[in-house]
Structure 1
């Protein structure tokens, strides 16, 4: 994860096929400068977004056949050259080629253990947090809310299963390859399944790149807010100010848990493939123990204070009220919400038909279920904008 020596602690890079590596060079800004029939020499193309001549001395030499002696050594040297130019690890580039386009998110943990080892509890916490972070950021693309609904979008869950986790030597580094394309994507018009050794023509903003950008933006914003809260510049409630880049509660909890139960300091590094949107220098962020604790508190604050969409409550009707004998009224359900598992009282506003059903449920001791947006005001919890209300039939109703 060192920018000055990206090959340090790189692990073992998978040796890609010659055709896949050649395609990668072509699509990531390299051009053939010379060929002698046995080898091809490649140089970086100059573009307006780069310092002209910054990498002029760098050349990548490839054999013209994959069956030459020493092929693996020559390709390893090529990956080392690419690593220097892109400021990414050779293994990250090999994963990029293998996926047909993949960004990388790596987390360096700092356990009191020999290099390459970590306590099981820390490793489990970090891996679980990484998975939750990917799902939360992918879900945020379709659910712009400070508290995600209990049921995550299927696309977000499916995308997280495509990510590939590996470890690198160093303190203890978890490296996550995030493919640009997901199984729902038809943007490229390519039929190659994700994960095969084939490169596709990648659109400027594929789903995977949107996830990477969201994870990076959420991390930067979360660190900034945590630092300001820690210095007393802003209150914890500032995490509840909704903006397009505001991290949601699940992202905050994940960033808080990456350092493990003891909140050990960690670094998180985002390295983007040049196959989508051009080359970009990796971003390296450091999250301190104090920031992690504030992020955990912020996640709890959002989950207990912020409205939540699509919450289902099931329980007994314990109170009813309406003015007059007809029209809408209020019911109170003593039950459990599916997003928290907590047994509390929830108020719901019902139309006349549903209110009459609630009266029947109360009279016969039947359970009712309601789904809506959970609104919390102090100790008062209400379900608003109901999408469903129903009385669960008892044994007598089924006979």
Structure 2
């Protein structure tokens, strides 16, 4: 059996710069307590059970043991923040990043996983991020075939790594995205400036959405499993209801066999709040129900912005004027499958459909795809046009 093997030495791939580390401490609520020309000592601003914890940094990066001192400082922060040192290092290096980690449970040595499981989990993580980011701008239980550009661009900013353990995929999600309002002359992270993170940056909204929908999906899956609610309850559009792509991603994180997995959400203190990481355990039974729910939504819920291209094979209207119905034998851009689609047309478009049918020309129509049993209809058309033939182009 093919396996993927990741090696992780247990320390950050890139130790943060000293200036970036200092700015992180200041921005996340630490106070400089003492400096003696060789080191600086920091304490938490808020009093409590971490009163005795101190972070000690050298005053220059040119000391021999810089890596060791940074490693000790990250471990101290890790104890206070209840995050892994690697997660905090990513947070600092990104200038603000939340973390989502997935612990898989393959029947394989530590650090190894079957290729199909690793591929399924990584693909699902990417789809999960894109779907949650897209949902911030698009309220629908079934996302359009073309994802919003901002969602795809944000997913490309995320960074995947592995952590020590059975098989852990760790995803760093930057708080800011390339669409954030930033001035061109903003100094880069690491210079003498505090980390400038807005109160509710785009990345934090994505993290909050992913956590909320995971909890909601688990709740609904349990209620369906116990017979308290039907699978159709996933179609009730309520706050935090996951869309079909999010459901499919949560179903696929456990791989083709739906192995049990844990998913952990750890938030950066740079965007406010000191919430402890949230750890959720998704069972095989829940994963199967979530997959069924995704299929249900995709077959029962309208899909917006679907374009069908094909030939007119049937026409009908009562009388010689007015609105009418046409059937297009064609391919939808969201599935690539050749099927028949019914469309209702106004008089002008219907007359164009008659001409296309008589001349054997293809048409293109865009609207909301509605599937009921084997019947497919495009409703609320936004466009309808006849594709010119060669004789029309001469």
The TM-score bracket by the shorter chain reads: over 0.9
Structure 1 runs not aligned, ≥5 long: 1-8, 47-51
Compute the displacement of 1:136 (Å): 0.4
Tell me: CA distance 1:53–1:200, structure 2 relative to 1, closer, same or farther (3 Å). closer
Q: Give the equivalent residue in structure 2 for 1:49.
A: none
What residue ranges of structure 2 are gaps of 5+ in the alignment? 1-7
Query: 1-side partners of 2:320 and 2:343: how far apart?
Result: 18
* Structure 1 residue 122 corresponds to structure 2 residue 121: no
Matched with 2:34 is 34
Please give the residue correspondences for 1:219-258 in structure 2 after superposition, counting only pairs within 5 Å: 219-258=214-253
2:169 to 154, 170, 174: 174
Deviation of the 1:111 alpha carbon: 0.5
Asked if 2 retains the 8 angstrom alpha-carbon contact of 1:10 and 1:90, the reply is no
Counterpart CA distance in 2 for 1:291 and 1:105 is: 20
Task: Give the match for residue 152 of structure 2.
Answer: 157
Q: Partner of 1:246: helix, strand, or coil?
A: coil
What is the Cα-based RMSD across aligned positions, in Å? 1.6
Are the structure 2 counterparts of residues 191 and 348 from structure 1 closer, same or farther at C-alpha, using a change threshold of 3 Å?
farther
Q: In the aligned structure 2, how far is the partner of 1:206 from the partner of 1:34? A: 33
Partner residue of 1:11?
Answer: 10
Give the C-alpha shift of residue 389 in structure 1.
0.3
1:6 paired residue number: none
Distance 1:197 1:137, change over 3 A: farther
Count of equivalent residues: 384
Question: Partner of 2:44 in structure 1?
Answer: 44
Q: Please say if 1:390 is aligned against 2:389.
A: no
Does 1:290 find its partner at 2:293? no
Q: In structure 2, what is the equivalent of residue 215 of structure 1?
A: 210
Alpha-carbon separation, structure 1, partners of 2:96 and 2:184 = 13
**C-alpha deviation, 1:200, in angstroms:** 3.0
Aligned residues of 1:149 and 1:308 also touching (Cα < 8 A): yes
Q: Paired residue for 1:312?
A: 307
**Contact 1:229 1:235 (8 Å CA) reproduced:** yes
Give the Cα–Cα distance (whole angstroms) in 2 for the partners of residues 245 and 256 of structure 1: 17
Per the normalisation by structure 1, the TM-score is 0.93
* CA gap 1:180/1:10 in 2 versus in 1, 3 angstroms: farther
Counterpart selection for 2:138 from 128, 136, 143 = 143
1:70–1:230 CA distance, 2 compared to 1 (3 A): same
CA distance in 2, matches of 1:64, 1:279: 28
1:191 Cα offset (Å): 4.8
CA contact (8 A) 1:190 1:200 kept: no
